């Protein structure tokens, strides 16, 4: 089974840049790293976001991705400059790039 890597970016209106670098395998997200110029508290929230996306279907919509991210974050989580929806847009853009072959092998 081959894997595909892809990159997606989204600038949250009035907020910060969200970047998603991911690997797809078997029609699912096998690995992801969400990064950007935003801030999260506690710092472990970034790991929770990544873990929420791993295993998602490659055809997951933005609403489904945003719901998974929101569900993974505890009530103590503070997001500065991003939203679960903004993360979902960046991830969806990476998934779309992977489907189109853009970013393959990167």
Average pLDDT over every residue of 85-91: 98
Task: Indicate the SS3 state at residue 20.
Answer: strand
Q: Categorize the per-residue pLDDT at 1 as very low, low, confident or very high, splitting at 50, 70 and 90.
A: low
Residue 101, pLDDT > 50, answer: yes
User: Is it the case that residue 84 has pLDDT exceeding 80?
Assistant: yes
For residue 80, whether the previous peptide bond is cis, meaning omega lies within 30 degrees of 0, is: no
> How high does pLDDT run on average in the chain?
92
Domains and CATH numbers, the chain: 3-100 (3.30.390.50)
Residue 44: CB atoms within 10 A of its CB come to 11
Dump pLDDT digits (tens) for 14-61. 889 999 999 999 999 999 999 999 999 998 999 999 999 999 999 999
CA-closest candidate to residue 3, choices 17, 18, 24, 21 = 24
Is residue 102 pLDDT above 50, yes or no?
no
Taking CA atoms, 81 is separated from 26, 56, 97, in Å, by 33, 24, 24
Q: How far apart are CA 19 and CA 42, in angstroms?
A: 19
């Amino acid at each position: 089974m081959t894997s595909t890597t892809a990159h997606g970016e989204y600038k949250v209106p009035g907020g910060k840049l969200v970047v998603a670098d991911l690997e797809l395998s078997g029609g699912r997200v096998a690995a992801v790293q969400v990064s950007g110029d935003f801030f999260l508290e506690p710092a472990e929230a970034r790991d929770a976001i990544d873990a929420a996306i791993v295993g998602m279907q490659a055809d997951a919509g933005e609403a489904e991705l945003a719901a998974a991210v929101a569900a993974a974050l505890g009530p103590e989580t503070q997001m500065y400059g991003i939203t679960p929806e903004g993360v979902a847009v960046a991830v969806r853009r990476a998934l779309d790039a992977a489907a189109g072959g853009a970013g393959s092998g990167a």
